[in-house]
Amino acid sequence: MTDVKYWVGFNIVPGIGPARLKKLLDYFEDAERAWHAASLDLARAGLDRKSLQNLMAIRDKLDLDTEMRRIEDAGAQVLTLQDEGYPHLLRQINLPPPVLYVKGSYLPEDEWAVAVVGTRNAKTYGREVTRYLAGDLARNRITVVSGLARGIDSEAHRAALEAGGRTTAVLGSGIDIIYPYENTGLAHDIMASGALITEYPLGTKPDKSNFPPRNRIISGLALGTLITQAGEGSGALITAYYALEQGREVFAVPGSILDRGCSGTNRLIQQGEAKLVLRTQDILEELNLTMVSQQAEVRAAVPENETEALLLRHLSEEPVHVDELGRASGLPIAQVSGTLALMELKGLVRQTGGMHYVLAHEAGVLYTVD
């Protein structure tokens, strides 16, 4: 889209985050008009003095076309909130990041995801538990999301890759800066079987203030968040609390009461904020992900078609009878019924009884036709 570069421009301006950019887009209706707007109009749109000064300073010296070429040269692509490929689960959170920089491949099936995070100071127990659970999730066709940090995060990514699965790493730096540096090789492996994602512009260094906001993306990309080992002060607990705010499930592995490195996960369980996990099946059953492998195989075997896309446009979270779908779509009832049966196998729709259908949780993102 032609105005992507203007989204990128706003993303570079200090002080213009998701909330202020939303105000501008609501006022000017598109990013290009907002970018070129006069200062008086920008103030009327709700931009405060400091953000306005920052915008004017950046706008005078930033060549947006050059910036887009820099992103391309870095091997990255840009996804904005207006793009169909923007992660569906992340779009649902409060004030999602307007711009994402992506290296590797973020696929529709990556919506079947669980975040696996924990302490950087992982001990043997935490590492082994993480490798067991993250690897098993990957073998069940679940994408493992984590933060590429030392310790638990690194173990989660490696376990998913070794299991032949997919994994997504969310960075607290620009897409061109890998942190920690020793994970550069791991980052390249992730790009081959998943994606690196960040909301931060090129050249952004891994400042400690970047990581709490980064954690909201980790939880936002996943149906649930698993904490395998974390002490009371661990940043992984921030991810857990973001997940709770986002209405996502939180899971935790219990540890020894004598180990301070497990006190954070034990506390989450004790306070009822996290569900206790003893095996991978506990997570899969809670998130209704036990049939992902079967659904993925069926989805791969049956090609996309316009009939399915048409029916999806007439479905929502409210039950709709098959006859009503026939009338709304203009299709014969036999064709509607047969197509819905296949779509149910794919996990796109769900029958609620009496030939009434609703969208399944994944429907809007896993199966679309241009």
Contact 81, 98 (CB under 8 A): yes
Whole-number Å distance between alpha carbons of 130 and 118: 9
Which of 175, 172, 162 shows the shortest CA–CA distance to 73? 175
Residues 315 and 362: their CA atoms lie apart, in Å, by 13
Query: CA-based angle 49:50:55, to the nearest 5?
Result: 95
pLDDT tens digit at each of 370 positions of the chain: 469 999 999 999 999 999 999 999 999 999 999 999 999 999 999 999 999 999 999 999 999 999 999 999 999 999 999 998 999 999 999 999 999 999 999 999 999 999 999 999 999 999 999 999 999 999 999 999 999 999 999 999 999 999 999 999 999 999 999 999 999 999 999 999 999 999 999 999 999 999 999 999 999 999 999 999 999 989 999 999 999 999 999 999 999 999 999 999 999 999 999 999 999 999 999 998 987 756 655 555 454 688 888 898 888 877 899 999 999 999 999 899 989 988 887 778 888 888 898 887 543 333 333 3
Q: So where are the chain's domains? A: 1-64, 108-286, 292-366
Output the CA angle 205-187-18, nearest 5 degrees.
Answer: 50
Q: What CA–CA distance (Å, rounded) separates 128 from 143?
A: 19
Cβ-in-10-Å burial (0-12, 13-18, 19+) of 343 comes to: buried
| Fold of the domain built from segment(s) 1-64 | DNA polymerase; domain 1 (1.10.150)
Phi/psi at 353 (5° precision): 115, 150
The structural architecture, per CATH, of the domain 292-366 is Orthogonal Bundle (1.10)
Please tell me the distance from the alpha carbon of residue 363 to that of residue 315, in angstroms, as a whole number: 10
Cβ atoms 221, 87 nearer than 8 A:
yes
Alpha helices in the chain (DSSP H): 4-12, 18-28, 31-36, 39-44, 49-61, 64-73, 88-91, 124-139, 152-162, 184-192, 211-220, 236-245, 263-270, 280-286, 292-301, 306-313, 322-329, 333-345, 363-366
**Please, what CATH class does the domain formed by 108-286 belong to?**
alpha beta
Q: Residue 144 has what pLDDT?
A: 98
Backbone conformation region of residue 276, classed left if phi is above 0, alpha if psi is from -120 to 50, else beta: beta
Domains 1-64 and 108-286 share a fold: no
| Structure tokens, 50 | 């400091």
Is residue 278 within 8 Å of residue 251, measured between CB atoms?
A: no
CA atoms of 334 and 326, how far apart (whole Å): 9
